Amino acid sequence: MHLFFTPDLQPTDTSYTLSEEESKHCARVLRLGQGDTVTLIDGRGGLFEAEIAEPNPKKTKLSILHYHAEHQKRGYKIHIAVAPTKNMDRMEWFVEKAVEMGIDEITFLQCARSERKNLNLDRLEKIAVSAMKQSMKAYLPTLHELTRYTDLIKQPPAGQRFIAHLVEGQERHSLAKSITGEDTYTILIGPEGDFSPEEVEQAIQAGYKPVTLGQSRLRTETAAMAACHTIHVLLDV
């Protein structure tokens, strides 16, 4: 299956012209020709079957054959809010694998102990698009810029909210035992130095439930991936 990302394609469209980047990949790299069939995804759940009408390395024209709405839509949503690591390769790995598995929203947190003060969101979005195509997903998650921790926890609640931390003296429950069915799940994952005790208390006061991801001490990106995977394992039944 040859799959292309077409974010501006509408359900009612009967024809479409691929972007120059996707046209080059279609006509020059894959060497697809007139009459060949391809699959298109819009990142909003739409999956389209199309036929190449005019192959061209700069402007490949397609005829839309079929439209499928809400392709592989899940009954629950996952939002991981994570403090980006000093080494961005590790955060890029998390974005790639989380998209492959299935995630709806990623917020990058600026915490008291954060070591990274900036990030290249454009690069992360390109990695997300590539992972979406590779895993044949039709939904592209929303990636948010660096957000102050205090600003995030003040946002109106949506679904169930958890904070995974290692601060001693706080009662925590297993995330796996806290998932109660299809819902929207937001999980906070701290920086490499963990959340501060004050941040944990702020989250609890804002309605977040303290949880643990198991007995092991995990790296930031591993913890974020573990949280995402835990929800999938429990609800993909």
pLDDT the model gives residue 158: 86
pLDDT in the model for residue 1: 81
Task: Give the neighbor-by-neighbor strand order of the sheet with 61-68.
Answer: 3-5, 37-41, 47-54, 61-68, 15-17
Amino acid at 230: T
The 10s digit of each residue's pLDDT in 163-174 is 999 887 778 899
Q: How many CB atoms lie within 10 A of CB 30?
A: 14
- The CA–CA distances, whole Å, from 38 to 6, 102, 138, 151, 229 equal 12, 23, 14, 43, 30
Per-residue pLDDT tens digits for 50-108: 999 999 999 999 999 999 999 999 999 999 999 999 999 999 999 999 999 999 999 99
CATH H superfamily, domain 3-68: Hypothetical PUA domain-like; domain 1 (2.40.240.20)
Q: What is the pLDDT of residue 152?
A: 96
pLDDT, position 214: 87
Give me the pLDDT at residue 236, please.
Answer: 85
Calculate the CA 139 to chain-centre distance: 9
Residue 215: pLDDT band (50, 70, 90) is: confident
| DSSP symbols for 157-195 | P-SEEEEE---TTS--EEHHHH--SSSEEEEEE--TT--
Superfamily per CATH, domain 77-235: SPOUT methyltransferase, trefoil knot domain (3.40.1280.10)
Whether pLDDT at 237 is above 80: no
Mean per-residue pLDDT, 5-19: 96
Across-strand partners of 16?
Answer: 62
Question: What pTM was estimated for this model as a whole?
Answer: 0.93
Nearest to residue 26, comparing CAs of 14, 13, 15, 39?
Answer: 39
Instruction: Give domain limits for the chain.
Output: 3-68, 77-235
